Structure 1
Amino acid sequence: MDVLIHLFVGLHIVGIAALLGGFLTQMKAMGRGAARFVPGMLHGALTMLVTGVALVGLNQAEHHHINTIKIGIKLALLIVILGLVYVKRDEEQVEKPLFALVGALTTVNIFIAVLWT
């Protein structure tokens, strides 16, 4: 079961990399006001959601302690990110504050995962 948990952790990291990588590749365009949500950002957020839910289930099956408050906050942030990216995915340009919000929430989500023990 540990191998499966580690596999899903790796896939979760791939999802966050896709989301944050998509944001970082659009930073220059954001400066010009021409940033857009690329498909990799949506796919990364969906990957994070699916693998995160799987990780919670696998860890509960192994009777590991789950910090439900931490997971709830991370899930809430991810749902906001996913909602924004999904709704604005077809627009040619996304407003700077909205695009920056997705990057900030993604970064906050990473720091919650790493620093909250």
Structure 2
Amino acid sequence: MKYLCLVYSEEEKLHTLPESPQDIECLAYAQSLRESGHLIGGEALESVQTATTVRLRSGKLSINDGPFAETKEQLAGFYLIEALDLDEAIRIAAGIPPARVGCVEIRPVRRLNAPSEG
């Protein structure tokens, strides 16, 4: 089953705390997941200041700079993984280095049900 591990942290603290992970550690963990067959993909994200939020309400497009919500923690990156079940996904997410200074939200990936052509 596919799981998306969303990495959240307070952007200004992500790289300033003593326990903050370095990029090399994150790359090494991703490589170990790739080698074990668990990593499908993943990326770090640019600063939340570069975010753009798009909404469509009653046919009217609204575009705003910044994240979609005011929170202390922002989405910093993601790992798309393959795991047998939630327990295995939790074990994998616990090893994601930024979990030490933020949190990792685990979400099962839902397959879209498209009508079959016939």
Q: Which has the higher contact order (CA 8 A, sep 6+)?
A: 2
Asked if these proteins are the same fold (TM beyond 0.5), I'd say no
Larger-Rg structure: 2
Relative to the length of structure 1, the TM-score reads 0.30
More helix by share: 1
Relative to the length of structure 2, the TM-score reads 0.30
